[in-house]
Amino acid sequence: MKNVKVLGSGCKKCQQTADAIQKYADDNNIDIEIEKVTDMAEIMGYGVMSTPGVVVDEVTVHAGGVPNDEQIKAILA
């Protein structure tokens, strides 16, 4: 199981990111656990200055916008 953290203030784009990742995982039978991180100090600790950001298994893999399908595929690969 992959641990996926969506970093952001809880804005619409952050929710869209979490929803898109969950949908892709569901559609492709990928077992993930999604966590939303809204604490700015914790977000900055991952080196993310532009949200939404995505962290998979404690590695920052995306920042600054809603990832598209190809990006999500790479994120969960």
Q: Which residues, other chains included, contact 4 with Cβ-Cβ below 8 Å and sequence gap of 6+?
A: 21, 32, 33, 34, 35, 54, 55, 56, 75, 76
Is 14 considered catalytic here? Answer: yes
Residue carrying structure tokens 């916008």: 65
Q: Which of 11, 44, 49, 74 is catalytic?
A: 11
Q: Which of 6, 14, 43, 54 is catalytic?
A: 14
Point out the residues that are catalytic: 11, 14
